[in-house]
Amino acid sequence: MAPSALRALEVPEPGAISRREARQRGDTAIEIILLRHGEPDWTPEGGLSVRDAALTARGHIQAEAAARALASCGINALYVSPLRRAQQTAVPVAKATGIEPITIEGLAEIDIPLEGLSQTDVDGYFRRATQRPLREHWSGWPGGESFRQFHTRVSSTFAALLLRHGVPRESEDEFTVWRLPPQRQRIAIVAHGGTNAVAITHLLDIPCVPWEWNRFEMELAAYAVVQSRPVGMTGFVWSLQNFNEIDHLRSAGLR
């Protein structure tokens, strides 16, 4: 057998493949961190439900734990939903990273009209809505924003946000790809379970369903990471590298 053939049959040294894959993950051109807000106080002082909830005391602790986890990530930009629970979660993240947060209206959660209801009424509302025929789920939660409107809003928001960073979405043959940015970037987004789930669906080019928050379900104050992977001559696709990361919550005794 020729020497070249013998070299082809050589077994890699232990850990070589793992190191190569780790280098590939570390060499990503752009990375997005999707952080869900901390625990919201939907019924302050045990009263009626509010539409724009602030964080509970536990939620603030969760936000601090998330901030510590992201402090050394080298974040270049920080975007946040306008809703109070996301805004308050972003405060310690901004302090830990030294990045001024930018509020984007389109990152808000799907609108649900629950203000002024008792917890019993809220539970009944969600139970009835969940048990509707599947085709009716496209209309969203009864009386609120339709899911199609929500999906369009979040998708267009992410497209505009990434275009701001020099990352347009393009089509090549029958495929969807994204153009590589001019320099490496890491973007953090503080939003909601529904918003983040739709964002993942959009980035991974997965056909949407009207229950994305169940398909890509993250815990409170958990985060997901998507990274670019080069495909073709100048484009890339998104790779979901981490999902529902909660080690920072475990370390803080919150799990």
Residue 207 in 3-state DSSP?
A: coil
Give pLDDT, residue 13.
72
Per-10-residue mean pLDDT, the chain, length 255: 54 65 69 98 93 97 98 96 98 98 98 93 95 96 96 97 95 90 95 98 96 96 97 90 97 93
Beta-carbon contacts of 133 under 8 Å, excluding residues fewer than 6 positions away, are none
CA dist., res. 26 & res. 22, Å (int): 6
Handedness of CA 110, 113, 116, 120 (dihedral sign): negative
DSSP 132-173: S-GGGGGG-STTS--HHHHHHHHHHHHHHHHHHTT--EEEET
Give pLDDT, residue 236.
95
Instruction: Give the E-state strand segments of the chain in sequence order.
Output: 30-36, 77-80, 102-103, 169-172, 175-179, 185-191, 223-231, 235-245
Give pLDDT, residue 234.
79
pLDDT single digits (tens) 77-104: 999 999 999 999 999 999 999 999 999 9
Name beta bridge partners: 242: 225
Domains of the chain by start residue, with CATH: 28-251 (3.40.50.1240)
